[in-house]
Structure 1
């Protein structure tokens, strides 16, 4: 670099160790206009309008000639040899700068673009360095003493670049684990551009990565309120999708491994066309004024939360109001998911939401909703009928403004009071523009599953009878969907190059369970290994099913991918009734499944049970000690009944 022109902050020209400044405000704005015009140049009138915005002085033509003459002398400092760099060509003033001249504005904007490319490529350190350098430049004011249309437009343009640089640096810092710095950068971005939704989404992501979901929700609420008050609009579908993403665990808290962004590339949504069509149909009926209820069920990791997110994004894109809540195991807050959903609506409302409800409802709502001063202790709350009536009024008020969707995740952890409130809302909102979508696991141990499912079935029954309710039971992805997923993620997602058909291999071992499938595709040890996240999930299931069921499960894992009851019951050392209870527990939580290989036309043959997911069998097998494996094998050598292959490599 031979010379540098600084347009941000005090305008200066640096050349050969010397620094020169323009003293006249008119000369500074004219110089900036000529520099940024590039080889296209500017007309005499365009240059005059920038120098004298509003109205031209009577002698502006001669004044302009004098100013251009001064600028020629000033620009001459950039040249090694005397040359006229400011010329008039084709009726336009053109400032011809040499190739070795760097302009700070152009360098900063190029750095932002390069930082964006680096972040997309997973080069976090490079993205952070480029974005931080650009932001440091762009924070300086541009022609702070001057006004006019061109200057204002250019400032707005540079502010957009600055906010983009802050967002990139924030995300890079977040992926590097520097959450405190990431939060400061994201806060600065939202302060400089409060209407820019991407900056708020960045802040939401940082707060979520810090483990502070409440602050992430408040960032969304501030944005929603600002948009409503200042612009009279709702957040974009992309922002609503980010809001919905707070339903599930954080997916952005770690840096991309190995310099690749593949681990953080958004996972494509595939293979759920029929299920999404069911939800879309219910939403369409709700938007026409008939309350709908959709119960989404499936095993752990099957994609219930993702379906809720995609459904919510679809509803938001069609003008729906999203109210999102989640049940936590052992939650202390009363009516947690519905209160959470309505409280987010209240906190983000630009008007006083209590104006839309009757006087009798205002006191209970203040006692219950955190944004209105609650919640008070459960023992100090009004009785259920009073609370239910108040919450129903608030929900109906929300649904009267626009079609409304309540999305509740992890409903298998709902307490009886929450289920009772859900039943009340479904019963009292028949003609509201309301769609309630609830997701719950169906692979919990018997006692918990029966309690929760009984309550949800009770809520579903009258709605379903009226034609306004449906259950969406999620199964595993099929092979074609698995291939599509692998293709869209890119070849870098498949780490086992020794397998001729890795997509089929991953599908057969995962049973199409999206969580297991993705973990296997990304695990560096290859498709034949058990990813740590899958092993932890299996261990958690084992801990929840009881001692006898866990013992029977271990015997089944050692025995083979297919087993009979007699073959495993005896080796587990359980009597018949205890073994039957254990087998039923394994079937209920979905670890084992009964297959029809014996054939219904031969009722005398024993039923055969298989592991639903081969990778689960391997995870259990690897947790069994060598001594126990030898003991099981020894007992089965003397047991009657069929024997099965125990080679895990065929799983």
Structure 2
């Protein structure tokens, strides 16, 4: 068994799990000194270190006394005595200092193998294991070296203590810094932030630690928290050292202030309804729940800059899941750091050739003082095919020289590629194209061409594209196009899912100002301000119901709040600091059934999705709406009264459009339509089931319930379930 020596934090010596007490502080001091320093030391030197005010004879006698005490306490041969030299056997102790030092060496070897922006060919499993090991080591850090221990009558030992504390503080800081970078590279920004917070806790005056924390919060899209971390550090420096942060950190803070202002405007604008003015438009809807995805965008942007290469990020998700908000928040971040941001979008049914690119490039060239300095006249002339206003601005432009057909097309492609490429020579370019599942084939073709040209030039262009996942027909050409784009430059795909319950509840806390409610400001008109703890508890329960009802779908969340505002169950009041705060009625906080609440805007979005279904898929969905939750394929086709082959085609469509979710089971059959075996199906969102159920009409529901009663009657359904269908049919 090894003797455990833990010196990070208050010193602890234990053997076989039993703590050892030495009775005299200097006995503990000697053992800790020898364990830390290693090697062998003359008795005279050790005696002078611990008893500097005693003569040599007395000091050596005291040393012999504590050596005897150490031997009796340890009960193991640990002391190494060679004539006049003393030490400890390193193989006999388990020292937390060694564990920390070894972990830092491992982290150094890993982080030194690659530099930021370079491709990393390391084994992903090995990297995860390393991070787990470093995190475990970090957990052994209980505090400063020999925290709380001192020998006032031994000044040289005190000097040694202070030097060791500074040394191990630095080793701990290096571990935090390197671990946080590994965590961030792995896309774990939350863990990286917590690691850095731990670093700042033990190094309150070290700018490197606080700068890292501010950068990580900023990279996660949390500008407000990043700015707060900066202000806290600035206040500490002013208080303790009467100084201020470095110029680099002050400049970063200015960028953050600009981001916070732009995000406040963006959050307010996104709360507004295009059709009606809602009281919710007075509120700032915060950016929440996408920190990891935002961190990925930031990481790809940095890689684009440091590697001098173009990159692509495809953000995929259903309508209303937050693709556009994520992209626009990132554009705010990038513009604050000097990037040139271009924005365009494809439109359903428009099919205009080059439409998204024209929308992105036109406003940028309008701001350009001298486009003829950006492009040669020949390329401006080609570009004027899409932007005829260039001819008005430059009437002397020569006519396009490329003629017609494929030659003209190639020249136009080159003009578009050159425009963005030249802009990127001045500043990094982020080209954001939204709803690209609706893009025409020509737009995709020119992006493919331009991507190859940017990659050849090493142009710092980040192509950020967003597309819906529930439109298989519209996005089929898009889905084929993305892999082809990956042949010329790196492509990263981000698939957005619903927000977690914690994020939805956090949004509600922000909107209701629950975390920092000033005294005397009630949550709702005419409500007494006392009992704030009770109000918070009720709001927390309401937040849980709201999260469950909206399923974490951001669009459903906002539209549900609007509907509750229209019903008077929510109000927007003015906060003393300006802006709006959401007030929740006591009745809604305590007891509220949100399941019957279906905002008109949500209904319209769902109806639009359902209108694109084939007749077979629509029949299956109506049957599923009647069956409810967790139904099998045989029940579904039986209630829909469809042949098995028809049902399989319709089911593929519903699963492909993310209207139904498949759980368990599998598919069989290598030829022909796949056979769904043993799987159960449920609606991807309860609101979709509600709309599918009501849109079918009363007569169809009556028929479907009657069929459900007949089909389920022979499958062992519960009496309650059969009774439900019998009463409805």
The interval holding the TM-score normalised by the smaller chain is: 0.5 to 0.7
- Secondary structure, counterpart of 1:367 in structure 2: coil
**Structure-1 separation of matches of 2:691 and 2:346:** 29
Cα separation, 1, equivalents of 2:554 and 2:357: 28
Report the CA distance between 1:266 and its aligned residue: 2.3
Cα shift readout 1:495-551 (whole Å, capped 9, x = no counterpart): xx9998232223223321111122223322662211111111111111101111111
Match of 2:304 in 1: 286
SS, match of residue 443 in structure 1: coil
- Residue of structure 1 in register with 2:97 after alignment: none
What corresponds to 1:315 in structure 2? 334
Match of 1:595 among 663, 668, 671: 663
Specify every segment of 5 or more residues in structure 2 that has no aligned partner in the other structure, as ranges: 1-254, 394-398, 515-522, 525-536, 568-592, 669-674
Distance 1:250 1:326, change over 3 A: farther
2: CA distance between counterparts of 1:510 and 1:577? 34
Q: Distance in 2 between matches of 1:334 and 1:249?
A: 32
Q: CA contact under 8 A between 1:251 and 1:264: conserved in structure 2?
A: no
Any conservation in 2 of the 1:343–1:371 contact (CA below 8 Å)? no
CA distance in 1: counterparts of 2:270 and 2:481, whole angstroms: 23
Look up the match of 1:271: 289
Once the two structures are TM-superposed, the CA of residue 241 in structure 1 deviates from its matched residue by 6.5
- The range that moved more, 321-330 or 513-522, is 513-522
1:60-108 Cα shifts (integer Å, max 9, x gaps): xxxxxxxxxxxxxxxxxxxxxxxxxxxxxxxxxxxxxxxxxxxxxxxxx
Q: Which residue of 1 aligns with 2:76?
A: none
Could you list the per-position Cα deviations for residues 444-502 of structure 1 after superposition, in whole angstroms to 9, with x for gaps in the alignment?
1x32232222123322x315xx5x22001100101111111111122789xxx999823
Match of 1:348 in 2: 367
Equivalences for residues 136-535 of structure 1 within 5 A: 251=273, 254-257=276-279, 262-288=280-306, 289-331=308-350, 333-349=352-368, 351-373=369-391, 383-430=408-455, 431-444=458-471, 446-459=472-485, 461-463=486-488, 468-490=490-512, 501-524=541-564, 527-528=594-595, 529-535=597-603
Distance 1:456 1:280 in 2: 21
> Residue 577 and residue 449 in structure 1: after superposition, are their counterparts in 2 closer, same or farther (change >3 A)?
farther
CA shift at 1:576, angstroms? 0.9
For 2:270 and 2:350, how far apart are their aligned partners in 1? 16
State whether residues 499 and 553 of structure 2, in contact with CA within 8 Å, keep that contact through their aligned partners in structure 1: yes
How far off its partner does 1:627 sit? 2.3
1:450–1:311 CA distance, 2 compared to 1 (3 A): same
- C-alpha separation between the residues in 2 aligned to 1:599 and 1:436? 37
Deviations 1:26-74 (A, max 9, x none): xxxxxxxxxxxxxxxxxxxxxxxxxxxxxxxxxxxxxxxxxxxxxxxxx
- TM-score (ref. length: structure 1): 0.56
Matched, 1:606 2:673: no
2:709 equivalent in structure 1: 637
Structure 1 gap segments, 5+ residues each = 1-232
Residue 334 of structure 1 and its aligned partner are, at CA, apart by: 2.4
2:646 is aligned to 578
Quickly say closer, same or farther: Cα 1:462–1:264, change in 2 above 3 A.
Answer: farther
Pairwise CA distance, 1:244: 8.2
Counterpart contact for 1:405–1:435, Cα < 8 Å: yes
Cα gap change, 1:500 to 1:360, in 2 (>3 Å): closer
Structure 2 residue matching 1:323: 3-state secondary structure: strand
Cα 1:451/1:598, change in 2 over 3 Å: closer
Deviation of 1:269 after TM superposition, in Å, equals 0.8
C-alpha separation in 1, matches of 2:268 and 2:441: 24
Q: Give the corresponding residue for 1:222.
A: none
**Aligned partner (choices 513, 532, 544) of residue 612 of structure 2:** 544
Distance 1:343 1:438, change over 3 A: same
CA distance in 1, matches of 2:558, 2:269: 19
1:354: how far off?
2.2
Which residue does 1:623 correspond to in 2? 695
1:241–1:310 contact (8 Å) kept in structure 2: yes
User: Partners in 2 of 1:243 and 1:383 — Cα distance?
Assistant: 43
Contact 1:561 1:617 in 2 (8 A): no
Q: 2:715 aligns to what SS in structure 1? A: coil
Relative to structure 1, the CA distance from residue 373 to residue 629 in structure 2 (aligned partners, 3 Å threshold; closer, same or farther) is same
- 1:339 deviates by 1.9
Q: Which residue pairs with 2:579 in the alignment? A: none
Q: How far, CA to CA, are the matches of 2:538 and 2:642 in structure 1?
A: 42
Superposed displacement of residue 441, structure 1:
0.3
Q: Is the 8 A contact 1:335 1:417 kept in 2?
A: yes
Give how far 1:584 is off. 1.0
* Partners of 1:485 and 1:389 in 2: CA distance: 46
Secondary structure of the residue aligned to 1:470 is strand
| SS in structure 2 of the partner of residue 440 of structure 1 | strand
Aligned residue pairs: how many?
400
| Aligned position for 2:114 | none
Contact 1:244–1:324 at 8 Å: present in 2 too?
no
What value does the CA root-mean-square deviation take over the aligned residues?
A: 3.7
Question: 1:407/1:517 Cα in 2 relative to 1: closer, same or farther (>3 Å)?
Answer: same
Report the Cα offset of residue 240 of structure 1.
7.1
Decide whether the 8 Å contact of 2:666 with 2:676 is kept in 1.
Answer: no
The separation in 1 between residues aligned to 2:443 and 2:408, in whole angstroms, is 14
Moved more, 570-579 or 351-360: 351-360
Report the CA distance shift for 1:436/1:598 in structure 2 as closer, same or farther (over 3 A): closer
**Structure 1 CA distance, aligned partners of 2:510 and 2:500?**
16
C-alpha contact (below 8 Å) 2:294/2:326 kept by paired residues:
yes
Tell me, yes or no, if the aligned pair for 2:271 and 2:558 is still in contact at 8 Å. Answer: no
Q: Deviations over 1:584-610 (max 9, x none)?
A: 11111111101138999xx99721001
